[in-house]
Amino acid sequence: MKAKKLGVLFSGGKDSTLAAWIAKKEGYKLCCLISILSENPDSYMFHTPDIKQTKKQALAMNLPIIEQPTKGKKEDELKDLRESLIQARNLYKIEGIVTGAVESVYQSTRIRKLCYELKLECFNPLWLRNQIRLLEDLLENEFKAIIVGVAAFPLGKEWLGREINRKTIEELKTLQNKYKINPSGEGGEFETLVLDCPLFKKPLRIKDKQISGEKNSWRMEVELE
């Protein structure tokens, strides 16, 4: 049976990249990446740290990318997502999209509704996956993902740049038990950036970085090469 053509709703973080890898392993054809570039750092729908680096990741994956700007206003940003999906369908003949949604009902229901309206399949391979299992999947599939944003106690500046490895997972388990945080950052506790994975033709490196924030809210904006 001919593989279905998918676009990847892509943030550059661990979840959307892992979802894309799973889709490929399951026989789907990845045709393009779709990244929403929000001007609102606190977007209701979309990952924002280092979102402009998705172009470098697209090159590493040898895939075309649609970069859709949005003001990031609640609900209005869905109109911009719709435009990007229509563009992907017209340019790359996608028949559906793959997303990295895990637990966000707000995000998932809105994306599913858009896909239904546009007659596109919506593939969510990580939906309701155990969050520790998700982190272990990254290690098993040789993903190199680093933390580029934190937004919850007791996470602080010292977590920026940390790789998701066995030690990090064990620390996140401890924090989950003690402070009830989501260990994969699904509650917005932290954001990640993928530097290498099986989809990449070559690993990416950090050329430059800028750190900003205060207390338990920090971001690391990087330049990749």
Nearest to residue 188, comparing CAs of 43, 35, 21?
43
Nearest to residue 49, comparing CAs of 160, 149, 150, 184?
149
CATH number for domain 143-224, candidates 3.30.70.260, 3.40.50.720, 1.20.1440.230, 3.90.1490.10: 3.90.1490.10
pLDDT at 3: 64
Round to whole Å and give the CA distance between 99 and 122: 7
DSSP assignment, residue 159? G
pLDDT at 44: 65
Round to whole Å and give the CA distance between 199 and 25: 10
In this prediction, the residues of the chain whose per-residue pLDDT falls under 50 are 1
CATH number for domain 5-123, candidates 3.40.50.620, 3.40.50.300, 3.50.50.60, 3.40.50.970: 3.40.50.620
pLDDT at 53: 97
Listed by start position, the domains of the chain span 5-123, 143-224
115 and 121 Cβ atoms separated by less than 8 Å: yes
- Cis bond upstream, residue 125 (ω within 30): no
Nearest to residue 20, comparing CAs of 99, 84, 106?
99
Q: Helix 76-92 crosses helix 105-117 at what angle (to 10 degrees)?
A: 50
E strands present in 62-135: 65-70, 96-98, 121-123
pLDDT at 129: 94
In this structure, what token pair is assigned to residue 105?
């009902």
pLDDT at 2: 59
DSSP assignment, residue 31? E
pLDDT at 71: 87
pLDDT at 58: 98
CA of 158: how far to CAs of 3, 59, 126, 147, in Å?
A: 43, 30, 28, 10
Q: What is the pTM of this model?
A: 0.95
